[in-house]
Amino acid sequence: MQIGPYRIDPPVVLAPMAGVTDKPFRMLCKRLGAGLCVSEMTTSDPRFWNTPKSLRRMDHVGEPEPVSVQIAGTEPSQLAEAARYNAAHGAELIDINMGCPAKKVCNVAAGSALLRDEALVARILEAVVGAVDVPVTLKIRTGWCRETRNALTIARIAEQSGIAALTIHGRTRNDFYEGEAEYATIAAVKAAVRIPVIANGDVSSPHKAKAVLEATGADAVMVGRAAQGRPWIFREIAHFLATGTELPPVTLAEVRDVLIGHLEHLHAFYGAPQGVRIARKHLGWYAKDHPEQAAFRTVVNAAETGERQIALTRDYFDALIAGVAPDFASAA
């Protein structure tokens, strides 16, 4: 898949997820096979650009190209200025958020709420595309609700506005993440436009990725929640799409090593104590489906230093690798 001057290969993309796809996670997923990683959404309101949270989200030093930064907002000129600001600070792709279903986002008429105002969508896209020299992409849902699915109309507006690629999550805003994603709308959009289309929603395995590509004709798939605690899913999907065969399951030793490396990067990036706190949700995702995972989470979540968090994690996985019960009593 080609987006502007950038070849996205393999055609497997990490979805932007607030509170998840920070720099440590993006770099990890890229190393483990993602063809493109999109940042957490950053606000278009300049009053918040210099907060510690925003400054971290805008830190792209050392990231492999292309650096894709998602912006969110409602006002065309403000979004255009946010695009210029991020492009000047390392963004090589600008992604516009019109897909987030969160109430706090939609209540201020941002995210997927924008899909209810097609004229405003056009003004935003034209303003942002005209503001920067880097490619601009767009992420949407199929519509606000099932009765008003308008992804096809939005896609045509996007193409006419100069959008370089379009990602569609196969649910409406009112679906949130309930039920199953539907792909007929994505297929209809792909058949109607010439720009690259990325299919998103319930891409949770190599076989599902292939099935979604076949059902939609999309140029790539986007993986979101399925990558939480499973960043190696990108190489698994890429290998299956390229060869038709599955990679061997990831070993416990590799899970341990990937997780510890992820923890170390989180601790270094955020510092103490924030890095330890942020790491806790990732620890829960990595430990999911492993023996004694509830007891492990209880013990490791009580750790107050990065060193202790890493030591407990290593001990837990070393016990699983050795085939013995983890010793939580001595860890308490």
Active site residue ranges: 100
Tens digits of residue pLDDT in 114-139: 999 999 999 999 999 999 999 999 99
Residues 203, 206, 209, CA angle at the centre, nearest 5°?
40
Both 90 and 159 in one domain: the answer is: yes
On the question of pLDDT at 34 being above 70, the answer is yes
pLDDT tens digits, one per residue of 202-227: 999 999 999 999 999 999 999 999 99
Domain boundary among 184, 213, 243: 243
pLDDT at 251: 97
pLDDT over 90 (residue 110): no
Last residue of a domain, one of 213, 243, 273: 243
Q: Give the pLDDT of residue 102.
A: 84
Is the same domain home to 101 and 11?
Answer: yes
Same domain, 180 and 232: yes
Q: Is-contact 270 320, C-beta < 8 A?
A: no
pLDDT in tens, 275-310: 999 999 999 999 999 999 999 999 999 999 999 999
- Output the average pLDDT for the chain: 95
Q: pLDDT band for position 332 (50/70/90)?
A: low
In a shared domain, residues 116 and 201:
yes
In the chain, how many domains are there? 2
Instruction: Render pLDDT for 84-98 as a digit per residue (tens, 0 to 9).
Output: 999 999 999 999 999
Residue given tokens 């963004």 in the structure block: 91
pTM of structure: 0.95
Residues 190 and 312 in one domain: no
Give yes or no: residues 100 and 237 share one domain. Answer: yes
Q: Which domain holds residue 286?
A: 252-331
Note the pLDDT of residue 331.
60
- Of 78, 31, 39, the closest CA to residue 59 belongs to 39
Regarding whether 310 and 180 lie in a shared domain, the answer is no
Could you give the angle at which helices 306-322 and 293-300 cross, rounded to 10 degrees? Answer: 160
Domain boundary among 216, 243, 270: 243
Residue 276 and residue 324 in one domain: yes
Kindly report the CATH number assigned to the domain that includes residue 103.
3.20.20.70
* Sequence-separated (6 or more) residues with CB below 8 Å from residue 21: 14, 15, 29, 37, 38, 39, 40
Q: Do 141 and 266 belong together in one domain?
A: no
Q: pLDDT for 151-206, tens place per residue? A: 999 999 999 999 999 999 999 999 999 999 999 999 999 999 999 999 999 999 99
**pLDDT at site 290:** 94
**Tens digit of each residue's pLDDT (9 = 90 or more) over 231-264:** 999 999 999 999 999 999 999 999 999 999 999 9
Q: How much is the average pLDDT of 13-29? A: 96
Torsions phi, psi for 291 (to 5 deg): -60, 145
Residues 175 and 288 in one domain: no
* Same domain, yes or no: 121 and 49: yes
Residues 28 and 88 grouped into a single domain: yes
